[in-house]
Structure 1
Amino acid sequence: MFTLAPKCKTVLAMAGVGLLLNSNISAQTKNPVLVKEKTTFQTGAAWRPTTDSRADVAIVYGHGDGRRETFTQRIKSWTDRGYKAAFMTGMAWGGYHDYFTGKWDGKPHFDEGQKMMNGDTVWHGGNTPYVVPTLNFLKYFKEQVVKKAIDNGIDAIYLEEPEFWNKAGYSEAFKREWKEYYGFDWRPQHESAENTYLSNKLKYYLYYRALKESFTYAKEYGKSKGVNVRCYVPTHSLINYAMWQIVSPEASLASLDCVDGYIVQSWTGTAREPNYYNGIAKERSFETAFLEYCSMKSMTAPTGRKLFFENDPVEDTRRDWSDYKKNYQTTFTAELFFPDIDNYEVMPWPDRIFDGKYFTSRTSNERAGMPRSYSTQMMVMINSLNDIKTSSNRTSGTQGISVMMGNSMMFQRLPTHDDGKAWADPYFSNFYETSGMFNRVPTNNKLMDPQLSNFFGQAMPFLKRGVPVDIVHIENVGYEKALKDTKVLLMSYSNMKPLAEEPHKHLAAWVRNGGVIVYSGRDDDPFQTVQEWWNKDGKKYKAPADDLYEKLGIGTNPKAGTYSVGKGKICIIRRDPKEFVMEADRDGELREKVEALYQQATGQNMLYKNNFYLARGPYEIVSVMDESVSEEPHTIKGNLIDLYDPELPVLNQKKINVGEQGFFYNVDKVPNPQTPQVLATAARVYEEKVTSKSYTFITKSPLNTTNAMRVLLPAQPKKVTVTDAKGIKIAGFKSQWDAASKTSLIGFENNPDGVKVKLEW
């Protein structure tokens, strides 16, 4: 057994299509040519040898000066080490104490914090409330935060987490914004479904405006200094925000030319949120992460925006190292199943990852730093992201099944109202008294949409059976590419509402041209009757779906059944999708309808299995799901380097059991196999030099981590030399040859100053 021993431990109008924003966009937004920035990480600290992860970009977090370094010094500490520097700060919260305390303009602004019904502010730390982004705050934000970053040479700005809590909406600042936006006095959101909808719609608009104002300023100010400033939004997925009862602009940002891309903030903390399937509510980290990444990809893909996928080797909640490792591996696997994405934020907060101490087990109160085996595996995984490329291959399974989502999912994440009485529901009795709703699964099925079950009820019956379902955002159906690969579209207005009529025109045209819709819903939730476009200005529909039905020519409120429309069909199931997953064995009706319609549309039968597989060049990815069609493991064969094993063994086959994942480098698929090269490594490789008899390179990686690397060579090395940055030979390194794969396994202690390796044969 090869074991490495470490040495030491412009503001949108409300009227008309007010919040449709981008549903009728026919051409892609033109983006500037981007500098190659494949991998990133975010940090609030200056460079340290223990956190030198060697991604391409160091995103420096926060504009403030610390006790040890100024903002300028923090940036320089990373650029001096060869990183490209970018800037990130919170859009809804951050180090903006001088604004709230009155230091900036002589007036305190705590009334601009997000407040709950009981009058308490939603805090993100001392003197740091979640913000109601007023125009005055945005003036401060542009002048004191954005300008400062650009003046320090930053040309990429990331404004993260534009978040407004559902439970908030009671501050004086919010009431003023309500009057300005709607033209009538503020209404308490807890009094009716309509008030809830209006309140959340305003929250959504306020952060759309905030990002538009901030990014437009950044680009204009940058241009005045000869700098092309690129602007990104790091954000949770729509799925997670809807589950955690937070409102954010999400897909609406596609309408903004000033947005260049996004970071998908999916990680253990979001993916472990329980959901229902087959009558059981529990954590399903792989499936949830898969859908989160899918949601963000589909939100972005038609627009051509750049997308970074993120996950986290630790997480915000303190747990034990084995829990972190299991879920990191799970979510990491999920992000790899999207072969058209190859940009990644490899980690947030390296300081807490490399230098933090967490529980050694679930039953112990002892804390320790990251186990050396985990840090080696993590660095192998991270360095694979520097190498892995996009692929035209698709994740295995039946293609063309999509689920529709919309931003309004965030607007109605509250219990059934019933004239306001439902606020007495025990589950929500302290809704406005608590700071969050994380990891709480309701048992009262009378709730309108427990754990977003009206979404998962459409996706999980197929995802769990090995169908890589896609997602279509209703805001994007105006893009030609949005429905291009969809054969059967699953949709419901039980958990969302169309924010304008325009998407129905595109959907009706798509169906007439051969598309198939399966619509599930009773259309009887209280949000069906809120004052919106479908029941005012001459329209008198009782539910928004009636407008779609009429455009399809089947009349309003049709009965359950399948209707032919031009070359396509619409199938109506008069059940809310949550009914398919909140009770055991209730998804049969949905599956049978979809299976038959898919066969009619494509001439192919749907394939069910318990796994996903994808090859991306030499990389092969596998996940085997539980609660599926079988308990059989999936066996993968080849000349495989196991990238989830810190010792990087070469295997001729590997069995992946139910509930597990695998990530491999197939030596048989090496590009240019006659060329010596590093195939897998826990350190980043630089300055490679190849001669007819030798291969030399330098590796860099954080201090206090151990490198393991597989190096492909034409022959077994006769001599291996390892030296430090000063040229001093390093003793005690490991070297083993594997004749079958023609790879040498090298192991030594990492160093950010560089370790030079020379192999001679």
Structure 2
Amino acid sequence: MVIRDRKEERIGFQESASFKPSFDLQTDFVMVYGIDKTMTKRIKEWKEKGYVVHLMTGVAWGEYKDYLYGKFDGLKHWDEAQKNKQGSYIQHGEDVPYMVPTIAYTNFLTERIRAAVDSGVEAIHLEEPEFWVDGGYSEAFKREWQIYYKEPWNPPHESVDAQYRASHLKAYLYKRSLDRLCSELKEYALVKYNRFIRFYVPTHSLINYTQWRIVSPESMLIDLPAIDGYIAQIWTGTSRTKNVYEGVRKERTFETAFLEYGMMQELVSGTDRRMWFLHDPIEDNPRYTWSDYRKNYFKTVVASLLHPDISHYEISPWPCRIFEGKYPNQEGTGFEKIPEDYATTLLTVMHTLGNMNQQDIHVHGMSEKIGVLLSDSMMYQRKIISNEENDSDSRYDGTDADSVQKEQDIELLNFSSFYGLTLPLLKRGLWVRPVQLDNIRRFPNYLKDYRLLILSYEFLKPEYPDLHNALAQWVKEGGVLIYVGDDSDPYHKVREWWNTGKHQYHFPREHLFESLGIASGIEQGIYQIEKGVLGYLKFSPDECAKSKISADLLRDMINSSLENYDQEITLDEKNYFMMQRGPYRIAAVLDESISQEPLEIKGNFVDLFDPSLKVLHHIQLKPDENTLLYDLDYKQTVQEVKVIAASSRIEELNQNENGFEMIVRGPEKMKAVARLYCLRKPNEAKLVIGNKSEDISWEWHEQSQTILLNYIHSSTEITKLVVKW
């Protein structure tokens, strides 16, 4: 483990509360949340504690009553609040509606956020530009429709065309708002302070927003030069959303998180923009036990680490609610604070994440990547939940699984067309990666790392015809494309480029096949396209989620198409994923897979999910289990003291003739552990705080030449561990 410079901003967290020693996590940066009268004071407090300070605020909602009630500009702006078809405001809380991002609202946000620039923050995060599918009925949105489409507003629920156009407009409006806001404030910071300020967008994945029926700019943000990067807001709350595999609807946290993180890395692939992957040790739904939170947290961490191109992390939103909040106990008789051992493990994992910038990557098992093409247009095809029986708000945001009850509404949340193309492969240990269809026209050679792509227009649409030219060229040069679809999606009939002007196609697939040089009416089968191959399955992709028979047809088509392309290419099916990132071994074993056999891992490892950082020689992972290990055999020669893992920030590590000492920092009064390589067996370990010194417990592991130190954090003075041999 290296001693990090905070300016690298490898790990950070967001917090709306003032600094408090009990959740002083000692990350590199903190995102002070919210613009209010206490903002400047909070920024100053965190800066004084050594943090790089950013600001985060909601861009779709917030405590913006001054704007709503006319104190900002003398005009009331409730007509800009998002409304559903029942005429009800869509709200995040009382007097906190989700907003239509009008130019006036954008000007208000710009003025409010200007104060953060003046306060000296180094970056600003504009969180969650969200427009609900159920929205689109406010007067402000009707005006925006007229301006954008140059036609009268159409109620989104009345036709698929109106729904599609409404959602496309919603995404555009937030793109416009972010572009204006970030560009103006970047110029302001340079003109007034000669200081470059960075702007980031924390956002859910395209997969989650589509499933939860929310519209956001997503890949549109790539086109905005004023955006410097993103936070991938993926956590237990998004990833435990139920999906269907082989007809069974249930939570599949690891698999969903794996796909979500994969989707988000596409926002920075091929760019110099920054991406932080988010984890949350709990979630917005406060009804689960600590053991449930722990199990699912580990799944999201492991899923994220299987994407080695990303090595920056938001290790927690709201540490106050983690380390000071109470949640149901196992017996269901009351509430309890975080268990001591789990708190220690969290700190260990959080600081381990700060060392994930490893260049030596090794994938265990065949790593042929399978790309599944996705597009922002997935968000435009989500129906409005029917609620004619009452005016209740049936939105699903992950906090209340019982909020959507009707059978047809549950079906809408399944998003089976997407999971039907991914889970049948992912569950066999195949490296399925979401690929942003829209990026094909943004970046030359975007598809160069793929030999196999899967596409369906039954749940998304190509927004530009030239995508097909690039995709056809990729196939002709040796790519294997699997197309799945029966042309049954009603959204094929929306007014779009394939059925307007000179283009008169019934479905966008017809134009794609024409670009490939084959007739649109061909039968299901495998077709040679110059050096490449087209595999065509003529049924809806959601069938692959509903039945094993259809999932098998998809798998068979993939294997047959690959054999037709190159008989030496085979996909190595297995029931696990495993990867080495430098000294770190990451592994997950899948349930519902080809085997129930456990994964055996042998060697010399430290278990980073264990609060006592045990040294293990044989790990056996069963289905639905995962692990994060430190490989003690990785390029190791014990010539100097070296930190393997610690639940503290290590600021100094000095070795001398008599032993070593290191400065450790972390949340006050919290139990901490550290395991280090050591040249010889120690005979003494002490914790030194200011002028006070006390013995601490320690264990020596002879075989691995490591020492385990147990101690308690103090935030009042410099805390030093001193070990003598």
TM range (shorter): over 0.9
Partner of 1:561: 525
Alignment of 1:158-307 (within 5 A): 158-224=125-191, 225-307=193-275
Moved beyond 4 Å, runs of 4+: 428-432, 440-450
User: Structure 2 vs 1, CA of residues 342 and 692 (structure 1 numbering), >3 Å: closer, same or farther?
Assistant: same
Superposed CA offset, 1:198-239 (max 9, x none): 111110111111111111112111211211111111000001
Q: CA deviation at 1:449?
A: 5.9
Q: How does 1:721-732 map to 2 (within 5 A)?
A: 721-724=686-689, 726-731=690-695
1:66-104 per-position Cα deviation (integer Å, ceiling 9, x unaligned): xxxx21110011111110000111110112111111110
Amino acid at match of 1:50: S
Decide whether aligned partners of structure 1 residues 743 and 591 sit closer, same or farther in structure 2, where only a CA change above 3 A counts.
same
Q: Which amino acid aligns with 1:533?
A: W
Counterpart code for 1:62: G
Which residue number corresponds to residue 660 of structure 2? Answer: 695
Counterparts of 2:624 and 2:675 in 1: how far apart (Å)? 28
Q: What's the counterpart of residue 55 of structure 1?
A: 27
- Residues 1:347 and 2:316 are matched in the alignment: yes
What's the counterpart of residue 395 of structure 2? 435
Matched with 1:117 is: 85
Return the letter of the residue paired with 2:543.
Answer: E
Deviations 1:328-373 (A, max 9, x none): 1111111111112110001100110111111112x41411111001
Conserved 8 A contact 1:112-1:174 = yes
Distance 1:601 1:115, change over 3 A: same
Residues 338 and 395 in structure 1, CA contact (< 8 A), matched pair in contact too: no
Match of 1:662 in 2: 627
What's the counterpart of residue 130 of structure 1?
98
Distance 1:482 1:632 in 2: 37
Q: Quick one: percent identity of the two aligned structures?
A: 38
1:24 is matched with none
Task: Tell me what 2:345 maps to.
Answer: 377
Partner of 1:628: 593
Q: 1:450 to 1:317 in 2, by over 3 A?
A: closer
- Partner SS for 1:301: coil
Deviations 1:417-463 (A, max 9, x none): xxxxxx76x8x866973232644688968998651111111111110
Whether 2:487 is the aligned partner of 1:519: answer no
Q: Is the 8 A contact 1:449 1:578 kept in 2?
A: no
Q: Deviations over 1:241-286 (max 9, x none)?
A: 0010000010111111111111101000000000010110000000
Which residue identity is paired with 1:183? K
Range with bigger deviation, 443-452 or 311-320: 443-452
CA contact (8 A) 1:678 1:711 kept: yes
1:333 aligns with 2:302: yes
Cα drift, residue 730 of structure 1? 2.8
In the other structure, the counterpart of 1:18 is none
Are the equivalent residues in 2 in contact too, given 1:487–1:598 (CA < 8 A)? no
Give CA deviations for 1:503-542 in whole Å, capped at 9, x if unaligned: 1111011111111110000112110010011111211010
1:644 maps to 2:613: no
Question: Post-superposition shift, 1:626?
Answer: 0.2
RMSD after superposition: 1.9
Residues of 1 paired with 2:450 and 2:601: CA distance? 29
- Given the superposition, is the C-alpha separation of residues 752 and 596 from structure 1 closer, same or farther in structure 2, using an over 3 Å criterion? farther
For the 8 Å contact 1:442–1:450, the answer to whether it is kept is no
Q: Quick one: structure 1 residues 37 and 111, their matched pair in 2 at CA, closer, same or farther if it must change by over 3 Å?
A: same
Alignment match, 1:487:
451
Q: Could you tell me which residue of structure 2 aligns to residue 708 of structure 1?
A: 673
35-44 or 170-179, which moves further after superposition?
35-44
- Matched-pair contact (CA < 8 Å) for 2:266–2:436: yes
1:359 alignment counterpart: 328
Cα distance in structure 1, aligned partners of 2:693 and 2:318? 33
Partner Cα distance (2:64, 2:170) in 1: 20
Residues 251/557 of structure 1: CA separation in 2 closer, same or farther (3 Å cut): farther
Q: Give the match's secondary structure for 2:66.
A: helix
Deviation digits for residues 471-512 of structure 1, max 9, x if unmatched? 210111132342111111001000000111121111011111
Please say if 1:720 is aligned against 2:692. no
Q: CA 1:367/1:657 → structure 2, altered by over 3 Å: closer, same or farther?
A: same
Q: Letter of the aligned partner of 1:454 in structure 2?
A: S
Question: In 2, distance between residues paired with 1:201 and 1:46?
Answer: 39
Match of 1:470 among 433, 441, 453: 433
Is the alpha carbon distance of 1:161 and 1:430 closer, same or farther for their aligned partners in structure 2, counting shifts above 3 Å?
A: farther
Letter in 1 for 2:518: I
Q: Distance in 2 between matches of 1:450 and 1:106?
A: 41
Aligned 8 A contact 1:118 1:433 in 2: no
User: Which secondary structure state, in structure 1, belongs to the residue aligned with residue 692 of structure 2?
Assistant: coil
Q: Which moved more, 1:388-397 or 1:296-305?
A: 388-397
> Is the CA contact (8 Å cut-off) linking 1:511 and 1:568 kept in structure 2?
yes
Alpha-carbon distance in 1 for matches of 2:595, 2:562: 23
Q: Matched residues in 2 for 1:429 and 1:281: separation?
A: 26
TM-score (normalizing by structure 2): 0.95
**Structure 2: any 5+ residue segments left out of the alignment?**
1-5
Which whole-Å CA distance do the structure 2 matches of 1:472 and 1:485 have between them? 11
Cα distance in 2 for partners of 1:648, 1:190 equals: 55
One-letter amino acid of the counterpart of residue 558, structure 2: V
- Asked if 1 retains the 8 angstrom alpha-carbon contact of 2:488 and 2:540, the reply is no
- Partner of residue 283 from structure 2, selected from 310, 315, 330: 315
State the alpha-carbon separation in 2 of the partners of residues 493 and 446 from structure 1. 22
Residues 365 and 317 of structure 1: CA distance in aligned 2, closer, same or farther (over 3 Å): farther
Residue type matched to 2:15 in 1? T
Query: Are positions 1:752 and 2:715 aligned together?
Result: yes
> What is the CA–CA distance in structure 2 between the aligned matches of 1:346 and 1:557, rounded to whole Å?
51
Determine if contact 1:448/1:525 at 8 Å carries over to the other structure. no
Provide the residue aligned with 2:3 in structure 1: none
1:544 aligns with 2:508: yes
More off after superposition, 579-588 vs 130-139:
579-588
Q: Secondary structure at the match of 2:478?
A: coil
CA–CA distance in structure 2, aligned partners of residues 364 and 378 of structure 1: 24
> Structure 2: how far apart are the matches of 1:61 and 1:556?
53
Contact 1:91–1:159 (8 Å) recurs in 2: yes
Aligned to 2:546, the other structure's residue is in SS state coil
How far the C-alpha of 1:672 sits from its partner, in A, is 5.9
